[in-house]
Amino acid sequence: MMDGSAAVGTGLEGGVPVSSLEWHRARTRLILGFDLRSDEGEKESLGFRAFAELERRAGVGGEVRYARWLSRGFGGFVFATGTITPETLVGAGFGATFVIPFGKRAGFSIEPAFAALPLGSDVPKGSVIFWGTLALGVRVGL
Protein backbone atom coordinates (compact mmCIF):
# COMPACT_ATOMS: atom_id res chain seq x y z
CA MET A 1 0.00 0.00 0.00
CA MET A 2 1.23 3.50 -0.77
CA ASP A 3 0.27 7.02 0.30
CA GLY A 4 1.44 10.19 -1.46
CA SER A 5 1.85 13.58 0.17
CA ALA A 6 2.50 17.19 -0.78
CA ALA A 7 3.12 19.94 1.78
CA VAL A 8 4.59 23.37 2.49
CA GLY A 9 6.70 23.77 5.60
CA THR A 10 8.68 26.28 7.62
CA GLY A 11 9.54 26.84 11.28
CA LEU A 12 12.56 27.83 13.33
CA GLU A 13 16.23 27.15 12.72
CA GLY A 14 18.93 27.57 15.29
CA GLY A 15 22.55 26.79 15.85
CA VAL A 16 24.62 25.96 18.88
CA PRO A 17 28.01 27.53 18.65
CA VAL A 18 30.16 27.13 21.69
CA SER A 19 28.77 30.24 23.42
CA SER A 20 25.13 30.90 22.37
CA LEU A 21 21.94 29.69 20.71
CA GLU A 22 20.36 31.89 18.03
CA TRP A 23 16.96 31.18 16.44
CA HIS A 24 15.51 32.57 13.22
CA ARG A 25 12.82 31.55 10.75
CA ALA A 26 13.66 28.32 8.95
CA ARG A 27 13.81 28.02 5.19
CA THR A 28 10.41 27.65 3.54
CA ARG A 29 10.18 24.43 1.58
CA LEU A 30 7.94 22.47 -0.75
CA ILE A 31 7.82 18.78 0.18
CA LEU A 32 6.74 15.81 -1.95
CA GLY A 33 6.79 12.25 -0.69
CA PHE A 34 5.33 8.81 -0.38
CA ASP A 35 4.97 6.16 2.32
CA LEU A 36 5.05 2.40 1.74
CA ARG A 37 3.09 0.03 3.99
CA SER A 38 2.43 -3.67 3.94
CA ASP A 39 -1.24 -4.66 3.79
CA GLU A 40 -0.44 -7.07 6.66
CA GLY A 41 1.19 -4.43 8.87
CA GLU A 42 -0.58 -1.13 8.23
CA LYS A 43 0.67 0.39 11.49
CA GLU A 44 4.24 0.76 10.18
CA SER A 45 5.52 2.54 7.09
CA LEU A 46 8.73 3.51 5.37
CA GLY A 47 8.61 6.99 3.86
CA PHE A 48 10.66 9.00 1.41
CA ARG A 49 10.52 12.79 1.00
CA ALA A 50 12.16 15.22 -1.41
CA PHE A 51 12.12 18.93 -0.65
CA ALA A 52 13.02 22.15 -2.38
CA GLU A 53 13.96 25.10 -0.18
CA LEU A 54 12.50 28.26 -1.65
CA GLU A 55 13.72 31.22 0.29
CA ARG A 56 16.71 32.69 2.00
CA ARG A 57 18.53 30.61 -0.58
CA ALA A 58 17.41 27.80 -2.86
CA GLY A 59 18.32 24.26 -1.93
CA VAL A 60 17.37 20.63 -2.50
CA GLY A 61 17.29 17.76 -0.05
CA GLY A 62 15.57 14.62 1.10
CA GLU A 63 14.44 12.49 3.99
CA VAL A 64 13.95 8.82 4.81
CA ARG A 65 11.57 8.04 7.65
CA TYR A 66 10.16 5.15 9.67
CA ALA A 67 6.63 5.82 10.92
CA ARG A 68 4.47 4.03 13.45
CA TRP A 69 0.71 4.75 13.20
CA LEU A 70 -1.19 4.70 16.49
CA SER A 71 -4.52 5.30 14.72
CA ARG A 72 -5.74 6.15 11.22
CA GLY A 73 -5.17 9.85 11.84
CA PHE A 74 -2.14 9.97 14.14
CA GLY A 75 1.39 8.61 13.98
CA GLY A 76 4.93 9.31 15.04
CA PHE A 77 8.11 9.04 13.01
CA VAL A 78 11.90 9.14 13.18
CA PHE A 79 13.95 10.23 10.19
CA ALA A 80 17.32 10.88 8.59
CA THR A 81 17.46 14.08 6.57
CA GLY A 82 19.85 16.19 4.60
CA THR A 83 20.36 18.88 2.01
CA ILE A 84 22.61 18.20 -0.95
CA THR A 85 22.90 21.54 -2.70
CA PRO A 86 24.14 24.29 -2.56
CA GLU A 87 25.73 23.20 0.75
CA THR A 88 25.34 19.91 2.60
CA LEU A 89 23.60 19.26 5.92
CA VAL A 90 23.02 15.80 7.41
CA GLY A 91 21.16 14.83 10.56
CA ALA A 92 18.26 13.02 12.18
CA GLY A 93 15.07 13.84 14.00
CA PHE A 94 11.57 12.89 15.10
CA GLY A 95 8.05 14.15 14.53
CA ALA A 96 4.34 13.41 14.40
CA THR A 97 1.69 13.29 11.70
CA PHE A 98 -1.92 14.33 12.28
CA VAL A 99 -4.34 13.58 9.42
CA ILE A 100 -7.79 15.17 9.24
CA PRO A 101 -9.69 13.02 6.72
CA PHE A 102 -11.73 14.45 3.88
CA GLY A 103 -13.12 11.54 1.94
CA LYS A 104 -12.19 7.89 2.18
CA ARG A 105 -8.64 8.13 0.78
CA ALA A 106 -7.52 11.73 1.36
CA GLY A 107 -6.78 14.02 4.26
CA PHE A 108 -5.24 17.29 5.37
CA SER A 109 -1.92 16.64 7.14
CA ILE A 110 -0.18 18.55 9.91
CA GLU A 111 3.42 17.51 10.69
CA PRO A 112 5.49 19.09 13.46
CA ALA A 113 9.09 17.83 13.55
CA PHE A 114 12.43 18.48 15.23
CA ALA A 115 15.86 17.66 13.76
CA ALA A 116 19.50 18.05 14.78
CA LEU A 117 21.99 18.38 11.91
CA PRO A 118 25.60 18.08 13.12
CA LEU A 119 27.25 17.20 9.79
CA GLY A 120 27.85 19.01 6.51
CA SER A 121 29.51 21.94 4.84
CA ASP A 122 26.73 24.34 5.99
CA VAL A 123 27.41 23.67 9.69
CA PRO A 124 29.73 26.20 11.36
CA LYS A 125 32.71 24.58 13.07
CA GLY A 126 31.87 23.46 16.59
CA SER A 127 28.09 23.79 15.99
CA VAL A 128 24.93 21.82 15.49
CA ILE A 129 22.02 23.17 13.41
CA PHE A 130 18.52 22.56 14.84
CA TRP A 131 15.27 22.65 12.85
CA GLY A 132 11.87 22.92 14.52
CA THR A 133 9.42 22.73 11.61
CA LEU A 134 5.73 22.56 10.82
CA ALA A 135 4.47 21.27 7.46
CA LEU A 136 0.88 21.57 6.25
CA GLY A 137 -0.37 19.62 3.26
CA VAL A 138 -2.49 16.87 1.78
CA ARG A 139 -2.13 13.10 1.97
CA VAL A 140 -3.75 10.71 -0.51
CA GLY A 141 -4.00 6.93 -0.52
CA LEU A 142 -2.70 5.72 -3.89
* pTM of the predicted model as reported, rounded to 2 decimal places: 0.89
pLDDT (tens, 9 = 90+) of the chain, 142 residues, equals 899 999 999 999 887 665 566 788 888 999 999 999 887 877 999 999 999 998 777 899 999 999 999 998 999 999 999 999 888 999 999 999 999 999 889 999 999 999 999 999 888 787 888 999 999 999 998 8
What are the residue ranges spanned by the domains of the chain? 2-141
Q: Cis check for the bond before 101: say yes or no (omega within 30 of 0).
A: no
- CATH for 2-141 is 2.40.160.20
Q: For residue 9, which of 89, 87, 115 has the smallest C-alpha distance? A: 115
